[in-house]
Amino acid sequence: MAGRIAQALLGWHQRRTEERWMRLAETAPGLESFELRALRAEARGMRRQLDRVLQAADARLAVPPLGAGLPQMPLGTDWSWRPDAWRGALPDTGAVCAGDRTALGEGLAVYHDCPLGEVVVRQLRNGAPEDRAPYGLALDVFGFRGSFLSLSLTLPEAAIDGLKARHLVRVELVIDSDRPVKAYARLNIKHGPNLAQPVSALPAEGREKLAEFDLAYTDLNDRRIERAWLDLILNEPAMTRIVIRDVVASRRPRAEL
């Protein structure tokens, strides 16, 4: 009985909310500027949360190709993660990276210092089992006169929860490109006033690439870790199409000696 009452109240509240926004949509053209600013801020806040729900639902309900699950993790793995952009549809699936930073969703951004702004990024649907993930991210680079182009991924809280200097962090990628491109993976860990930044070169040949970071060599203060993010750095990418089909990060403690 209590469950039916709660469900009825929830339905009534949802109808009232929908009716309110329908009225606001009709009256918005005639509102004063200060009223519009407040309404826009409220609408953007709601849209941000709705987009998160839609993305999570798309990731769970989309029919992925064969092989879309996480690859087999090394023995002892205590955390693994595929970023949202490779699991479900993004609210904004494409952008022209005209500025030095272009956000593509929560915790995902493209950085470059090219004055031409001829970099286009868009999400696409993978279609082959060997692509592994349901979605991929394509970077189309035309004229490029900058010194760097990078894709930055903020790691979730679970990645740094319990992270120790004895951990090995592993990043597996599937990348297609028109030609071999020199690329690097850089792990950034903010601990207190310091920043650990181990770098791993990715092989130019082959589409499956692997980077591993041994935190024992970083002078990491694991009692003061605040946040972490991953950079994929591309060298000399001009006139190249680069499709990042999959990204999977994981960690495991090194075996005790």
Where are the extended beta strands (E) located within 20-148? 79-81, 94-96, 101-105, 108-112, 119-125, 135-141
249 and 164 in one domain?
yes
- Which residue type occupies 67? G
Instruction: Report how far residue 68's alpha carbon sits from residue 71's, in angstroms, rounded to the nearest whole number.
Output: 8
Instruction: Report how far residue 150's alpha carbon sits from residue 181's, in angstroms, rounded to the nearest whole number.
Output: 13
45 and 157 in one domain?
no
Q: Burial, 139: exposed, middle or buried (Cβ in 10 Å; 0-12, 13-18, 19+)?
A: buried
101 and 23 in one domain?
no
CATH number assigned to the domain comprising residue 184: 2.60.120.260
31 and 144 in one domain?
no
222 and 103 in one domain?
yes
236 and 201 in one domain?
yes
**165 inside domain:** yes
39 and 145 in one domain?
no
Instruction: Show Cβ contacts of residue 54 under 8 Å, excluding neighbours closer than 6 positions.
Output: 89, 91
**103 inside domain:** yes
92 and 34 in one domain?
no
**68 inside domain:** no
**74 inside domain:** no
Instruction: Report how far residue 37's alpha carbon sits from residue 31's, in angstroms, rounded to the nearest whole number.
Output: 10
Report pLDDT for 43. 82
Domains in the chain, number: 2
Q: pLDDT tens digits for the chain (257 residues)?
A: 566 776 777 777 778 888 888 888 888 888 788 887 888 888 887 877 777 777 666 666 655 554 556 788 889 999 999 999 998 888 888 899 988 899 988 899 999 988 887 899 999 999 888 899 989 999 999 988 888 899 999 999 999 999 999 999 999 999 999 998 899 999 999 999 999 999 999 998 899 999 999 999 999 999 999 999 999 999 989 999 999 999 999 999 987 65
Residue 6's domain spans which residues?
2-61
Report pLDDT for 249. 97
Instruction: Report how far residue 253's alpha carbon sits from residue 214's, in angstroms, rounded to the nearest whole number.
Output: 10
Beta-bridge partners for 248: 172
124 and 54 in one domain?
no
Instruction: Report how far residue 179's alpha carbon sits from residue 113's, in angstroms, rounded to the nearest whole number.
Output: 22
Q: How is residue 46 written in tokens?
A: 């709601």
- SS3 state at 178: coil
168 and 42 in one domain?
no
Neighbours of 47 (CB within 10 A): 12
141 and 14 in one domain?
no
**100 inside domain:** yes
**CB of 85 closer than 8 Å to CB of 254:** no
Report pLDDT for 256. 63
